């Protein structure tokens, strides 16, 4: 019992010290950060026409996948079912121009950076000019209070291999610390564990006449 009491006392001390350290190290309070996230976190659309085209095309592609799965689900043998699915996918999906991820301008689009990297083997990052437009909208003072993360969404590649961003997300995170006894003998033990929580606002901003305007997320 004495040993357990010492452990509990040690855990309590660590918790109080860590809380004090967290308060001292934060540039802004959590309430200020949550306020920034609620105002500026969310989706930033640079080309609404293309974003709507992609949403519509991905709905068509998703419906086709579901239709194919529905057609083959009655085949009892798993191997035969998978074989039939591959045949249908090749004929009606992969070799079907109506399923292509192509915009009205003839350019191939990608849903995200992972999609692009898996298909091409190339790395991709958001060009600085797109980030600058968002930072100008947020305001440099607000941006420096707590710099958000930028996550590439829909985009396409021009003839010179440059990225044309169609939309991207701006994410704000807070660090949540859980206190307890974590780990094992192999990894070692720790009295706390940090995790990042996205607190971004559920906003949607569309670039119109050179300026971002907040719109309904359903638009």
How many Cα neighbours within 13 Å face the side chain of 39? 12
In which domain, by residue range, is 117 found? 2-215
Average pLDDT, the chain: 85
Asked whether residue 61 carries a pLDDT value surpassing 60, the answer given is: yes
Higher pLDDT, 8 or 124: 124
- DSSP codes joined into one string, 72-126: HTT--SHHHHHHHHHHHIIIIIIT-GGGS-B-TTS-BEESSHHHHHHHHS-----
Domain count, the chain: 1
Residues of the chain with pLDDT > 90: what percent? 68
Identify the band that residue 218 occupies on the pLDDT scale cut at 50, 70 and 90: low
Angle, helices 48-72 vs 78-88, to 10°: value is 140
Which pLDDT value is given to residue 23?
A: 38
């Amino acid at each position: 019992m004495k040993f357990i009491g010492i452990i509990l006392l040690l855990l309590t001390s660590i918790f109080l010290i860590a809380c004090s350290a967290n308060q001292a190290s934060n540039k802004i309070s959590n309430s200020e950060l949550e306020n920034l996230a609620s105002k500026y976190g969310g989706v930033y659309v640079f080309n609404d026409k293309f974003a709507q085209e992609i949403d519509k095309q991905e709905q068509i592609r998703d419906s086709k996948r579901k239709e194919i799965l529905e057609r083959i689900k009655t085949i009892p043998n798993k191997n035969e079912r998978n074989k039939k699915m591959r045949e249908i996918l090749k004929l009606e999906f992969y070799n079907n121009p109506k399923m292509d991820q192509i915009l009205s301008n003839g350019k191939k689009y990608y849903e995200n950076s992972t999609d692009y990297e898996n298909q091409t083997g190339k790395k991709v990052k958001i060009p600085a000019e797109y980030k600058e437009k968002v930072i100008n909208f947020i305001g440099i003072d607000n941006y420096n209070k707590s710099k958000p993360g930028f996550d590439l969404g829909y985009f396409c590649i021009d003839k010179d291999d440059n990225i044309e961003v169609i939309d991207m997300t701006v994410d704000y995170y807070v660090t949540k610390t859980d206190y307890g006894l974590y780990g094992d003998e192999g990894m070692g033990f720790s009295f706390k564990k940090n995790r990042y929580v996205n607190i971004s606002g559920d906003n949607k901003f569309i670039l119109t006449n050179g300026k971002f305007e907040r719109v309904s997320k359903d638009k």
